[in-house]
Amino acid sequence: MEPIIRPAKSEDKPFIEEIAKLTWEGEDYLARVFDNWVKDGNFYVIELEGKAIGTAKLTILPDKVGWLEGLRVHPNYQKHGFGRLLHNFMLKKGKELAEEGIINALEFSTYFLNKESIAMAKRDGFKIVERFYYVQRALEEEKEPNVSKISSLDELGYEGHIPYGWKFLHKCKESIEWLNQKAKVREFKGFKFLYPEVNTEPAFTIFKVSMESIKTLLPAMSFEAKKLGYDSIDIMLPEDKQDLIEPLKELGFKNWTDFKEPDVLVLRKVL
């Protein structure tokens, strides 16, 4: 039987939960976002013999970006070309949305050691446009921050992309409106940070990335992380903030590669 790619539906959830349990040592967020993604649309599964064995999602972000995420294939069906089928389908979907004027580019982020995925994307015209360090440290004594919002672009100290978990938004006015609707924005002792409203990826976004802001916000981020059920503070550190690496190590922050190089890549393909 030939595989088919179709929109995800509620009946697929048990299959998606099984894939999530077998991905990232059971820490995959796919099952947690399933219902929201079905509602949002542009969420697809590849079906074989009546079973959903893989997924892919295209999320419309500000500045006409089609964000690719959630590409998964059940471990029992990997190395058979199903991932490539999903990838090609999403490229075709992106082109259709571009022809309709809904998006003008596709983007996604990935771990830098996903060599096969990166090579495949580059062959299809994607280019690396930005790189980040994913840094983590243990929680400390929690202190509750205040609910806040983003007032202007000037508050956000990022040049190109604004981190939002593992999504990255263009720095533009539309993104401010989008984040104020979807993100949890918090303020503590004069500094602000945000994190995704939907429980997907736990990384925090600090508005002005400096040692002063990070040190000050540690208790507030600990409070929010614990509330979410996480046992660490995770931050996306822009590549141009390399001068903070040694001070961050002294604060107890660690990185998957011991800061040898940025480990989160943002790739883009203009349509």
pTM, full prediction: 0.94
CA distances from 67 to 94, 192, 254, 269 (A): 9, 25, 28, 11
Q: Is residue 110 part of a domain?
A: no
Q: Is residue 121 part of a domain?
A: no
Average pLDDT estimate for 143-151: 97
Q: Check whether residue 135 and residue 94 sit in a common domain.
A: no
Which residue range is the domain that position 212 belongs to? Answer: 131-266
Helix, strand, or coil (residue 77): helix
pLDDT the model gives residue 197: 78
Instruction: Say which residue, 103 or 19, is predicted with more confidence.
Output: 103
Average pLDDT estimate for 135-162: 96
Q: Is residue 112 part of a domain?
A: no
What's the pLDDT band for 26 if we cut at 50, 70, 90?
A: low
Residue 6 to residue 67: CA distance in whole angstroms: 18
Report whether pLDDT(240) > 80. Answer: yes
Report whether pLDDT(32) > 90. Answer: no
Q: Check whether residue 137 and residue 240 sit in a common domain.
A: yes
Average pLDDT estimate for 196-217: 89
What's the pLDDT band for 59 if we cut at 50, 70, 90?
A: very high
Dihedral pair phi/psi, residue 158, rounded to 5°: -125, 140
Report whether pLDDT(27) > 80. Answer: no
Q: Check whether residue 165 and residue 216 sit in a common domain.
A: yes
User: Which residue, among 127, 133, 167, has the nearest Cα to 262 in the 3D structure?
Assistant: 133
Q: Check whether residue 159 and residue 202 sit in a common domain.
A: yes
Cross-strand pairs, 268? 107, 127
Please provide the DSSP assignment of 197-214 as one string.
SSSS---BEESS-SHHHH
pLDDT the model gives residue 200: 67
* 168 alpha carbon, distance to own chain's centre: 7
Q: Check whether residue 84 and residue 164 sit in a common domain.
A: no
Q: Is residue 233 part of a domain?
A: yes
Q: Check whether residue 145 and residue 237 sit in a common domain.
A: yes
Q: Is there a contact between 119 and 154 (Cβ–Cβ < 8 Å)?
A: no
Report how many domains make up the chain. 2
Summary count for the chain: helices (H), strands (E): 7, 15
pLDDT the model gives residue 23: 82
Average pLDDT estimate for 52-61: 96
Q: Is residue 109 part of a domain?
A: no
What's the pLDDT band for 198 if we cut at 50, 70, 90?
A: low
Report whether pLDDT(202) > 80. Answer: no
Domain closes at, from 53, 86, 103: 103
